[in-house]
Amino acid sequence: MANEAKQSFALAAFPHASLGASASGNDYFVVSFTITNKWQQPLQPARSITIMILDHLKYTKTHEWVKINRNHTARIGITEYGHRRFNRILFVQLPEVENELEQFDSFGVIESEKVVFEIYSPLSGKVVSVNEELEDDPSLMQHDPYGDGWMIELETVNDDEAKNLMDSEEYEEYIKEGGADE
């Protein structure tokens, strides 16, 4: 991604932002920038925000990610960009194992200090695993959204439903445009 695109991303996501630094990897991109006031002076104390989008995942407009495996299973979580709307996560309600979900069905709730959000399934399938660690430490979703912060795993995933999801480039563009839920 060109430096200009990263800067426009930073400015679109946060109106009073300026590019601080950027780096890219083989299967992800990282955008880092400093929040400033409308006079382009860094806020005190200056804050840097980094958002990572992984190339091998699919994304929803409600900021869930899904990793589709070859064995027709999928792991689901909330994106790094998505969890930024939470101040501190207090509670996560997830479905029971064996529950059947349809694509874009609500399957749980995230409660933060600020608000309560519903969580939606990017794909149809049967819940085969729930991240029970989130009961004791829901902050894992914020500290490691693409690792230990996963929420559920589905099996019998319909690969054709992935066509209804965004790839990393489409999700990046969606965020640039504001990333508002529909």
pLDDT on residue 114: 82
Q: For 24-37, what is each residue's pLDDT tens digit?
A: 444 555 554 445 55
Contact 127, 96 (CB under 8 A): yes
CA distance 64 to 6: 22
pLDDT on residue 150: 97
Show pLDDT as tens, one digit a residue, over the chain (182 residues).
433 333 334 444 444 444 443 444 445 555 544 455 555 555 455 455 667 889 999 999 999 999 999 898 999 999 998 888 777 899 999 999 999 999 999 999 999 888 899 999 999 999 999 999 999 999 999 889 999 999 999 997 787 999 999 999 999 999 888 776 54
CA 103 to chain centre: 17
Contact 108, 91 (CB under 8 A): no
pLDDT on residue 10: 42
Exposure of 71 by Cβ count < 10 A (0-12 exposed, 13-18 middle, 19+ buried)? exposed
pLDDT on residue 132: 96
pLDDT on residue 42: 52
CA distance 55 to 75: 15
Show the domains of the chain with their CATH numbers. 3-55 (no CATH), 58-164 (2.40.50.100)
pLDDT on residue 123: 97
pLDDT on residue 83: 84
Exposure letters 90-105 (e unless 16+ CB within 10 A, then b): eebebbeeebebebbe
pLDDT on residue 51: 78
**Own/partner pairs, 131-138, CB within 8 angstroms, 24+ separation:** 131/94, 134/92, 134/94, 135/92, 138/89, 138/90, 138/91, 138/92, 138/110
CA 175 to chain centre: 11
pTM over 0.85: no
Taking the CA atoms of residue 159, residue 165, residue 168 and residue 173 in that order, the dihedral angle to the nearest 10 degrees is 160
